[in-house]
Amino acid sequence: MSYVSDLLERVIKRNPNEGEFHQAVSEVLETLEPVVKRHPEYIESGVLERMVEPERQIIFRVPWVDDQGKVQVNRGFRVQFNSAIGPYKGGLRFHPSVNASIIKFLGFEQIFKNSLTGLPIGGGKGGSDFDPRGKSNGEVMRFCQSFMTELFRHIGPDTDVPAGDIGVGAREIGYMYGQYKRIQNAYEGVFTGKGLTWGGSLGRTEATGHGVAYFLEEMLKAQGQSVEGKTVTVSGYGNVGTYLIEKINEMGGKVVTIGDEFGYVYDPDGIRGDKLDFLMDLWCIHRKPARTLADEFGLKWVEGKRPWEVPCDIAIPTATQNEIDETSAHQLVKNGCMCVAEAANMPSTAGAIKVFQDSKILFAPAKAANAGGVAVSALEMSQNSMRYSWSFEEVDKKLKSIMTNIYRKASEAANEYGVEGNLLAGANIAGFVKVADAMLAQGVV
Ligand code: 2IT
C-alpha cells in the first residue's frame, strides 16, 4: 500500500463518522502522490501526518434565550487547523447541518486555499448548528453574543481571525465583533467582513463572486476562449452567487439560472438589469426565497430540482458541499458543458470530479477558484494593521492579480508534476508545498 493510502486509512480510522472530512483529505492526499515520491523529506518529517491533524479543536456550549423566554442550546466549533504560514484564518458557518466533520473539512481545505493566495494566513474554520433563518434580530444578537463569550479567548488579530460563511453575514459579524470588543476592551482586526464604517475593507463583499469570475476568465484565456457569449448556470443565491452574476454579466456572459434549496429559476434571456437588482435586494435586504424572483418577473420556477439539468457552457456551483453528484455531472457533460468552476466549498462529489476529469472538460477547483474571498479578508487584515483603508479600485486590482497568480501557480505546479491541465492537482500541490516547507523550517511542532 502506498504511503498516502495508508495515511488516508489511518485518518478514516481516527476520525470515524466524518464523511466530509474524509472526502476532503482523500482528494488532497491522492494528488500529493507525485510530490512525496519526488520529496521523501515530506514523509520523513511526518509533515503529512501533522497536516491532517488540527493543531487545536474547540467545541463549546452556546446557551441563549429565545423571544419566548425559553433557553436554547447550540453547539459552537472552532478548528484551528494550521498556523505554519500565518494566523488561523477562515469563516464561521451557522447552519443546522454544521458538525465536526463539516467544520474539519472546511478547515482542512482552508489551509491550501489560504496558502494559494500568497498572503500570510493559516487555516481554520468554525461555526455552529444555529440557524439564523426565521430568527428575530434580537435572537440572532443574543446567540452571537453568547457564541463570542466563549470564542473570544481563543481568537485575536495575531492568533485567529474569523469571518463569515453560510449564515454569517455583516449582521452576525457586527454582533460578534461588538461583543468581542466589549470583553477585550480593544479595537482590533479580529474579524474580517466587517462593515465599512467599522474597519471593513471595500470590495470584501464582492470578493468571492468577482474572484471566481476573474479566475474563470484567466482559465478560459489560456484556451483561447473567454466568458463572453457563454451561457452559465449558477445554483446558490447568496453573497457569492449575486456578485458572481454581476461580474459574469460585465464580462458578456449570460446567467440563466439561480436557485436555493427549494428549486431554481430559469431565465433563458439572462438574469441582468432590473432582475439582478431585484435579486440583490432579495439577498441583501429581504432574505426571501429565490422563487420570489420568478414570481416578480414571470420567469419559470422549477420546484425541488437543481439547475444542472439545464444546458450550459459553464456551470458554477455557488451553494454548498456535494451539490453536484455523479448523475448531475454526467448530465452536464452530456448537455455540452465545457467548464465547471467551483465557487462553493467542495461542491462536487468525488464521483462528479471523476466524470469531469474523464470527459476532459475544464475544471476550476474550489480552493483556487473561490480564494478571492479570503484573499480580500487578508487585505482587510493588512488595512486594519496599518489603520488605513484602500479604495475599491486598489482592492479590486489586487484581487485580480491574486486570482491570476493562483491560476498560474496551479497550472505550473500541474506541469511540474506531470499532470498537465489538472488544476485540481496543481492547486493542491502548490498550496501544500508552501505550507509543508514552512512546517519543515519550523521543526516538529
Ligand atoms: O470559505 C471561505 O474561504 C470563506 N468563507 C471566507 C473566509 C475568510 O476568512 O474570509
pLDDT along the chain (445 residues), means of 10: 95 98 98 97 97 98 98 99 98 98 98 98 98 95 98 98 96 98 98 98 98 98 98 95 98 97 97 96 85 97 98 98 98 98 98 98 98 98 98 98 98 98 98 98 96
- Tell which atom from ligand 1 comes closest to the C-alpha of 161: 9
From the list 330, 393, 339, 396, the residue with the least C-alpha distance to 369 is 339
| Cβ 240 under 6 angstroms from ligand 1 | no
Cα of 218 vs centre of ligand 1, distance in Å, is 22
Residue 53 is predicted with a pLDDT of 98
Cell of 279: 435579486
230 is catalytic: no
Cα of 164 vs centre of ligand 1, distance in Å, is 6
Q: Amino acid identity of 169? A: G
CB atoms within 10 A of CB 260: 17
CB atoms within 10 A of CB 336: 11
Q: Which residues contact 205 (CB under 8 A, 6 or more apart)?
A: 170, 193, 239, 243
In contact, 175 and 141? CB cutoff 8 Å: yes
CATH of the domain spanning 3-187, picked from 3.40.50.720, 3.30.70.2500, 3.40.50.170, 3.40.50.10860:
3.40.50.10860
In contact, 108 and 48? CB cutoff 8 Å: no
| Cβ 345 under 6 angstroms from ligand 1 | yes
Buried b (16+ CB within 10 A) or exposed e, 384-411: beeeeebeeeebbebbbebbeebbebbb
Cell of 35: 510530490
| Comma-separated ranges of CATH 3.40.50.10860 domains in the chain | 3-187
How many angstroms separate the most distant Cα atoms in the chain? 62
| Cβ 165 under 6 angstroms from ligand 1 | yes
- Tell which atom from ligand 1 comes closest to the C-alpha of 204: 10
Residue 285 is predicted with a pLDDT of 79
| Cβ 90 under 6 angstroms from ligand 1 | yes
Cα of 90 vs centre of ligand 1, distance in Å, is 5
| Cβ 89 under 6 angstroms from ligand 1 | yes
- 3-class secondary-structure state, position 39: coil
Buried b (16+ CB within 10 A) or exposed e, 70-92: eebebebbbbbbbbbbbbbbbbb
Cell of 276: 439582478
Cα of 374 vs centre of ligand 1, distance in Å, is 5
| Comma-separated ranges of CATH 3.40.50.720 domains in the chain | 206-369
Q: 206-369 — its CATH code?
A: 3.40.50.720
From the list 271, 275, 228, 230, the residue with the least C-alpha distance to 252 is 228
Instruction: Please give the model's pTM, rounded to 2 decimal places.
Output: 0.98
| Cβ 320 under 6 angstroms from ligand 1 | no
Residue 401: CA count within 13 A, CB half-sphere: 8
Residue 284 is predicted with a pLDDT of 78
Catalytic choice (104, 113, 125, 247): 125
Residue 287 is predicted with a pLDDT of 80
